[in-house]
Amino acid sequence: MQQPEVIKILKKDLNFDDLSIEKLKKFSELVLKENQLHNLISKSTEKSIWFRHILDSAQILRFIDFRLSSLADLGSGAGFPGLIVEIFNKNKSFHVKLYEKSPVKRAFLNSVIKSLDLRAKVLGDINNEILDADIITCRAFKKLEKIIQVSREIARKPHKLIILKGQNAQEDINKSFKTKKYHYKLEKSITNEDSKIILMQIKQ
């Protein structure tokens, strides 16, 4: 699935407007340009960036309540999904925070924010920052067990977890819930029939 088809889905199913689409186009160009110097995304996915990265990230918008105040994206990397959420966001009271330990990737994220006139804030390693958000997202951060540990020990509560996972999502959940169980839902990914989106409410 290439750019024109993805844009149709973004507009029809996820309610992206024309301005947001233009920013996504510019964002994808910036990612591909930077990827020639630094490994932001896999080289094998460059030609399918709109499907593999932009749409895959944008699908979590279905589970975000923008009436809340903030979202934290852990291990934001090139900005997936955090910058996709920020590009879509129309609520000035809703703040997107991008946590990334790599100085190179932080510099890239800040350059994109400036170039696209976005309001997202870039922070460093979660172990050195305050993790204070209503929603926490991650796409290629760490194993589920580690994400839950961070959520339980570092993050402010209550919060919602939105985690993009592969085909082993249920198996990962079973391993991670050995000592404490949390309420969760598994949603189907629209970009990969074997992948899942894990939704969890962490209350304490």
| Residue range 106-124, pLDDT digits in tens | 999 999 999 999 999 999 9
More confident residue, 203 or 50: 50
Mean per-residue pLDDT, 181-186: 82
pLDDT of residue 93: 96
Residue 76 has pLDDT above 80, yes or no: yes
DSSP 95: E
The boundaries of the domain holding residue 187 are 62-202
Say how far apart CA 189 and CA 196 lie, in whole Å: 5
| Region of 96 on the Ramachandran plot (φ > 0 left; ψ -120 to 50 alpha; else beta) | beta
Asked whether residue 97 is domain-assigned, the answer is: yes
pLDDT of residue 151: 80
Mean per-residue pLDDT, 85-106: 97
* pLDDT band (50, 70, 90) for residue 178: low
E-strand ranges in the chain read: 70-74, 95-99, 121-123, 135-138, 159-165, 184-188, 196-202
Reduce the DSSP state of residue 1 to 3 states and report it. coil
* Global pTM value: 0.93
Residue 179 has pLDDT above 70, yes or no: no
Residue 55, number of CB atoms within 10 A of its CB: 24
Asked whether residue 110 is domain-assigned, the answer is: yes
Pull the structure tokens for residue 134: 């209503």
Quickly tell me which residue has 């997936």 as its tokens: 80
Reduce the DSSP state of residue 188 to 3 states and report it. strand
Asked whether residue 7 is domain-assigned, the answer is: no
What CATH number is attached to the domain comprising 158? Answer: 3.40.50.150
Asked whether residue 8 is domain-assigned, the answer is: no
Asked whether residue 40 is domain-assigned, the answer is: no
* pLDDT band (50, 70, 90) for residue 147: confident
Residue 16 amino acid letter: F
Asked whether residue 170 is domain-assigned, the answer is: yes
When divided into structural domains, the chain yields a total of 1
Residue 103 has pLDDT above 70, yes or no: yes
Asked whether residue 47 is domain-assigned, the answer is: no
Asked whether residue 11 is domain-assigned, the answer is: no
